[in-house]
Each structure stands twice: as structure tokens, then as C-alpha cells.
Amino acid sequence: MGMRQYLQTIRDEFLELLQANERRPEEERLPREEFEIDPDLRKMIEDQTEEKIRVAKLEMQWESEKKSVALRKLNAFFLDNVEVERIVLRPFRERFKVTSFRAA
């Protein structure tokens, strides 16, 4: 039996216990919290997850700012010194057109 099958077996048994608990009369039912073996483990896992989310957000902010700085530098190098980005000349009688390109 592999690990996934073992975990699925445990989940199935847990669901059966919950269903059996629900079938009991109200005064004999156990609260859901009683089914937790180690409540501190849940808190520890939640804390670790929150920390991972915080670190991931910081990494995303760093990458976003890094890309923004790179874009500003590229714009400054290639576009800031260009007075006109593009000029299109169209004749009155013909169907072609001539377009300029940027040269710094």
C-alpha cells in the first residue's frame, strides 16, 4: 500500500466516524473539536502557511519592482531622447505609405 492509498484509507475512516457521530442523538454527539488529535499541530501548520504566503508576496513584490526598474531604464535609454516616435507619410493618389523608424 502506497502513501496516497494509506492517507485515503485514513480519510475514509475519519469520514465514517463523522457520519456515525452525526447519526447519534444530539446529547451523545461529540463536538468536531474532539476529533482533532493535536490542536497545536493545526496552529503550527497555519503559522507556517502564513509565513510562506508572506515570503511569496515579498518575492513577488521584489520581482515586480525589478521589472519596473528595468522597463524604466529601457525607456530612458531608447525613448526619452526621441522627439517623435513614429511618422507615417501617405500620398493622396497611391495606396502605399512610408513609415519612419526610431534612430537615436
CA distance 30 to 38: 16
This model's pTM is above 0.85 = no
Sorted by sequence, the CB contacts under 8 Å of residue 24 that are 6+ apart come out as none
Mean pLDDT by 10 residues, the chain (104 residues): 90 92 90 83 92 97 97 88 77 86 60
Spatial separation of the C-alpha atoms in residues 94 and 104, rounded to whole Å: 30
> How many Å apart are CA 61 and CA 50, to the nearest integer?
17
Grid cell of 5 as nine digits: 492509498
H-helix or E-strand containing 29? none
